[in-house]
Each structure stands twice: as structure tokens, then as C-alpha cells.
């Protein structure tokens, strides 16, 4: 009775236990610890089952997405119409054309193939030197020119700077000269805007510009 009272109420006074009571408590503790271990084992088993069921569920969700992808109306749109949609969407995205085309090409393999097979989509290239930090690797620019195939290209270059940046200026000069010497034969229209320092103190850049693009449309917008 005394033991039952201890187990059911708050202990506020010193406890005096008989040897058999101490033995009883220790046995009770061992039994309860064994039950806790049993519960933990069962919980681990449930966690493993939940993990496996989660994997199965995720696999089914992927399968459902694939099936819905096959049924998507856009899959039945002829390539010519899909290309026209891309062109219409791109028409008013002059200075964001680079990010826009990369987004279109990243949606899925089918869209990427459709976009890469439409040279008119790549017939305009607008480069903001501050937004498109260019290194000496112009691979993506070459790819852009390649995708335009035989379609003449309109090239817009923005060398405007919020603050004077000598490294940006040097990259701009190198990029302009690369375009003129390596890819100038594909350019139909060149529009350049930016600080005059881009072209000076190297007037040869301007001479190179007119030599490389003779017979083409050239537009300068020099601003400080």
C-alpha cells in the first residue's frame, strides 16, 4: 500500500524503503526499459516502411507526371506553330532576349530541340555588358551565332555603366573586337551604345568596325 502511494502521488517527504521494495522497483525499471526498447524497434520498423512507401509514392508521382506529359496538348502542337509562338513571345523582349531564350531552351528537351531548330529565334542578340559579365570564353555567343544559321543577325551591344569600371571597359573592347573579327560577317545590323571610352584611345576599333561591317547597318549611341 505504501509503495502504491509513492507511485501515484507527488513525493514530498523522505522515502524509507524495505529491501523487497527496492528490489521491486529495480525489477519494474528493467521491465519498463525493455518495453521502451521494444517500442523503439517497432518505431524503426515503421520508419523503414514509411521510407519505402515514400519512395514508391514518389516513383508513382513521376510516372503520373510522365503520363500527363504525354497527354499535354502542347505535345500535339506542330513544330511550325510552336516556333511561331516562341517568336511572338520573344518579339518584345529585346534586352532580355538572352535570359528569355535560355528559359525556353530549359523547359524540356522537346522545346530545346524546337528552339534550336528555328534560326529566326536566334537572329537577334542583345548583350548588356553589366548584366552578362563576359569572360574570355565566348562559347555561348558562338553557339548563338551558329543557331542563327544563314539568317543575318541583329546585334545590340550595351556598354553603358552606372559607375566607371576599367575591367568592364577592357572586357567590352575585347568582346567588340572579337565580334568584328570572328563573327562580323554574320551581322546585318550592329547597334552599339555606351561610353565613348569603349572606342578610345583606340580609334582602330572604329576603323575595324567599318571595315568588318561595310555595307551593313551600323548605329552608335555614345553617351557619358
In a domain, 167, yes or no: yes
Quickly count: other Cβ atoms within 10 Å of residue 111's Cβ: 16
For residue range 34-60, list pLDDT tens digits in order.
999 999 999 999 999 999 999 999 999
Same-domain status, 50 and 107: no
As for how many domains the chain has, the answer is 2
In a domain, 101, yes or no: yes
For residue range 117-136, list pLDDT tens digits in order.
999 999 998 888 777 666 67
Does residue 214 have a pLDDT over 50? no
Same-domain status, 44 and 155: no
Same-domain status, 85 and 157: yes
Same-domain status, 113 and 96: yes
Higher pLDDT, 103 or 208: 103
Same-domain status, 146 and 91: yes
Same-domain status, 195 and 131: yes
Same-domain status, 35 and 94: no
Q: Which residues of 70-102 are buried (b: 16+ CB within 10 A; e: fewer)?
A: eeeeeeeeeeeebbeebeeebeeeeeebbebbe
Q: Which domain holds residue 214?
A: 78-222
Amino acid at each position: 500500500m505504501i509503495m502504491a502511494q509513492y507511485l501515484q502521488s507527488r513525493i514530498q517527504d523522505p522515502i524509507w524503503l524495505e529491501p523487497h521494495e527496492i528490489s521491486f522497483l529495480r525489477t519494474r525499471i528493467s521491465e519498463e526499459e525493455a518495453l521502451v526498447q521494444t517500442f523503439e524497434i517497432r518505431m524503426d520498423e515503421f520508419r523503414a516502411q514509411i521510407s519505402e512507401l515514400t519512395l514508391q509514392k514518389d516513383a508513382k508521382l513521376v510516372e503520373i507526371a510522365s503520363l500527363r506529359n504525354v497527354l499535354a496538348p502542347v505535345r500535339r502542337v506542330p513544330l511550325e506553330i510552336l516556333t511561331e509562338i516562341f517568336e511572338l513571345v520573344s518579339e518584345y523582349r529585346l534586352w532580355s532576349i538572352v535570359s528569355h531564350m535560355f528559359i525556353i531552351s530549359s523547359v524540356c528537351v522537346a522545346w530545346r530541340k524546337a528552339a534550336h531548330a528555328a534560326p529566326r529565334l536566334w537572329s537577334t542578340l542583345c548583350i548588356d555588358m553589366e548584366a552578362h559579365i563576359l569572360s574570355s570564353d565566348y562559347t555561348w555567343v558562338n553557339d548563338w551565332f551558329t543557331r542563327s544559321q544563314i539568317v543575318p543577325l541583329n546585334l545590340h551591344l550595351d556598354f553603358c555603366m552606372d559607375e566607371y569600371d576599367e575591367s568592364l571597359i577592357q572586357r567590352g573592347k575585347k568582346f567588340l573586337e572579337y565580334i568584328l573579327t570572328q563573327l562580323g560577317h554574320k551581322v546585318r545590323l550592329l547597334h552599339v551604345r555606351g561610353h565613348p571610352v569603349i572606342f578610345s584611345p583606340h580609334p582602330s576599333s572604329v576603323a575595324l568596325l567599318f571595315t568588318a561591317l561595310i555595307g551593313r547597318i551600323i548605329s552608335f549611341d555614345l553617351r557619358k
